[in-house]
Amino acid sequence: MLRKCFFWSHLVVGICTGIIIFIMSATGVLLTYEKQIIDWDEARYSIVATQGEKTLTTDQVLNIAREKHPEENHIYIHWFNEKSRAIPIWAGNHRYLLSPYSGKVLQTGESTIVELLHFITELHRWLAMELEEDSFAKEITAYSNLFFLLLIVSGAYLWIPRRIRWSSIKSNLLLKKHIKNIHAKYFNWHHVFGFWALLPLFVIVATATLFHFQWANEIIYSAYGEETPAPRIRPETVKLLDGKQSYDYLFTVAKQHALDNSNEDWHSMWVEFGREKGSTRFYIDSSLGNNHANAYALFLDNDTADVVKVTRGSDWSEASQAWDVARYLHTGEYFGVIGQTIAGLASLAGCFLVYTGFLLSWRRLVSPYFRRLEKPNELNVLSKKDVV
């Protein structure tokens, strides 16, 4: 009776949420290497310097942004640890990609590839519909994700054979080559993909609840005896005031600070202006932006170039650090490229689970109905023959 209850709940929930789960899984596959794709897309604009050509200074890049948007105080410059890399800058919501030598604008706004990735992300999170505070689309993806978690748990129970024998278990571990019955083939696929993707899918779906439900966040913070923080509010920008030191000198100090703190191999450094009055923020990152443990923020005084403060991921509370780990477990980035690959393959397995699940459901629920419709016709044909 328990198994029957699990089976029918698994079947009904799967049919009701299958399409949304398929969309989230398929978009998850497409976003597997999102950070690497964006990095590659920007690296395409790298320019080899001609003889005697010098790289722009931070002050020169800042002046270009100011000339384009003189009333904008909040400006970003994204330096890469490669001289030939083009320089992305933001002045408020306006983005440009500059030549590192001439300052020529190579690109305005985001590339087609990045815009496509943004659309896929919105499709993954709220079906690319208009997002509001109480968005119906966001509720759909939130509860579909929660039901996906229930499908994983009930599926794990149903995977266990009624009689636990090695022969029965082995048949659900590997894809069978020679299966004449199409139903048995999809049944085999459903069990095999479900087994190998069970753990990563459970982690991916369980951590996704943090983005959708307040109670999921409360579980993490209460486990560490902390109160759940209010949603982060981005601080208002301040008027951008130049100090006695040049920004290029501050950039040099920041690079030396990274060297002195075992971050000489930093991948990129974000320079943020207008974050705090009288200081400039440098975010030094050794990764592609997917590991806060290897990155830190450095604030330098604009007049003296002294270190105002340094903030690292380790400075966060234990619960906040746990939340951050869960956030990168969701994408697999916590374990680097290997973790991303596993997450991508698990998402692909999720697509196959939905596909095979629908086909199996059709055979169980719909096909018998058509067979019953065909039987009276067969009987009518037989009766006519008898009359003849």
One-letter-per-residue 3-state SS of 374-388: HHHHHHHHHHHHHHC
Rounded Cα gap, residues 14 and 11, in angstroms? 5
Confidence band, pLDDT 50/70/90 cuts, at residue 387: very low
Rounded Cα gap, residues 79 and 251, in angstroms? 10
Quick: pLDDT tens for 331-376. 999 999 999 999 999 999 999 999 999 999 998 888 777 777 776 6
pLDDT of res. 49: 83
Average pLDDT on 315-325 reads 94
Rounded Cα gap, residues 213 and 14, in angstroms? 21
Q: What percent of the chain has pLDDT over 90?
A: 72
Q: Which two tokens stand for residue 366?
A: 């719909």
pLDDT of res. 388: 45
Which residues share a beta bridge with 295?
285
Look at residue 229 and give its three-state secondary structure: coil
Comparing 388 with 13, the larger pLDDT belongs to 13
Which residue pairs from 300-308 have beta carbons closer than 8 angstroms and sit at least 24 positions apart in sequence?
300/250, 300/253, 300/254, 301/243, 302/241, 302/242, 302/243, 302/244, 302/245, 302/250, 302/278, 303/243, 303/244, 303/245, 303/278, 304/244, 304/245, 305/245, 305/249, 305/250, 305/253, 307/257, 308/276, 308/279
Comparing 382 with 132, the larger pLDDT belongs to 132
User: Which residues, 6+ apart, have CB-to-CB distance to 350 below 8 Å?
Assistant: 21, 22, 24, 25, 28, 148, 197, 201
Confidence band, pLDDT 50/70/90 cuts, at residue 165: confident
Quick: pLDDT tens for 80-94. 999 899 999 999 999
Average pLDDT on 131-153 reads 87
Is residue 204 within 8 Å of 25, Cβ to Cβ? no
Is residue 79 within 8 Å of 251, Cβ to Cβ? yes
pTM: 0.89
Angle at 35 between CA 32 and CA 36, to 5 degrees: 85
pLDDT for 15 beyond 80? yes
Q: What is the mean pLDDT of the chain?
A: 90
pLDDT for 168 beyond 90? no
Whole-Å CA distances, 343 to 27, 141, 289 = 12, 19, 17
User: Which residues, 6+ apart, have CB-to-CB distance to 227 below 8 Å?
Assistant: 221
- Tell me the Ramachandran region of residue 305: left when phi exceeds 0, alpha when psi lies from -120 to 50, beta otherwise: left
Rounded Cα gap, residues 384 and 119, in angstroms? 61
User: Which residues, 6+ apart, have CB-to-CB distance to 280 below 8 Å?
Assistant: 247, 250, 271, 272, 273, 299, 300, 302
Quick: pLDDT tens for 229-282. 887 777 777 778 789 999 999 999 999 999 999 888 999 999 999 888 899 999
Rounded Cα gap, residues 116 and 113, in angstroms? 5
